[in-house]
């Protein structure tokens, strides 16, 4: 029986090739296994998310208190107007006619006039400050804030018959101007 040396060599060469391939496959498994292992960070901890801006509760509380103060002032003014006519808030629910006298007219004018608590300037300032406070100053929320404010003014217009009074439209315009300014200012 003759043994062909080429067959032995080929057989041995094939075995070496398979052995090399097997070693390469095992090395890849080891590398993949090491990559999939959790290894605690020895240095500074890195966050996978950004720090969310914090809602400014202090500013929100300040704005709420200011709003409550203005509301109380307006309510007091209406209550006094009703008293001068021998009425109460219950009479409003009954649909009784109210006459706005000169005293109430002057008080209302002071509230909505320049520098008054219900002037477009002051109301727009409070709306924008509230929006900034609830967003934590995050300008990425600009579109959400703007949409919410637009929806609020739209709903107010619907309640008032489809159109805002001139003073409310001025307030809306100032709010949009101030919001856009905030969006564009340096961070």
> What digits encode the pLDDT tens for the residues 123-180?
999 999 999 999 999 999 999 999 999 999 999 999 999 999 999 999 999 999 999 9
Would you give the DSSP letter of residue 115? T
What's the pLDDT score for residue 186?
67
Listed residue (173, 86, 162, 160) closest to 124, CA to CA? 173
User: Span 115-124, mean pLDDT?
Assistant: 96
Distance CA 187, CA 183 (A): 9
Taking only the tens place, the pLDDT of each residue in 120-133 is 999 999 999 999 99
Q: Which residue has the tokens 């709903």?
A: 155
Torsion angle defined by CA atoms of residues 173, 176, 179 and 183, in that order, rounded to the nearest 10 degrees: -130
Taking only the tens place, the pLDDT of each residue in 83-113 is 999 999 888 888 888 899 999 999 999 999 9
């Amino acid at each position: 029986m003759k043994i062909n040396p080429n067959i032995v060599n080929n057989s041995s060469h094939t075995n070496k090739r398979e052995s090399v391939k097997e070693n390469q496959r095992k090395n890849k498994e080891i590398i993949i296994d090491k990559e999939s292992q959790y290894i605690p960070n020895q240095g500074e901890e890195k966050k996978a998310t950004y720090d969310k801006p914090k809602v400014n509760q202090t500013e929100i509380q300040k704005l709420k208190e200011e709003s409550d103060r203005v509301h109380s002032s307006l309510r007091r003014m209406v209550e006094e107007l009703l008293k001068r006519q021998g009425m109460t808030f219950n009479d409003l629910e009954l649909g009784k006619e109210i006459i706005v006298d000169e005293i109430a007219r002057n008080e209302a004018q002071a509230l909505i006039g320049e520098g008054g608590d219900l002037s477009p300037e002051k109301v727009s300032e409070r709306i924008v400050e509230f929006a900034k406070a609830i967003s934590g100053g995050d300008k990425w929320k600009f579109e959400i804030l703007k949409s919410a404010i637009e929806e609020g003014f739209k709903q107010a217009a619907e309640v008032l018959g489809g159109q805002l009074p001139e003073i409310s439209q001025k307030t809306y315009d100032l709010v949009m101007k101030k919001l856009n300014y905030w969006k564009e200012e340096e961070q």
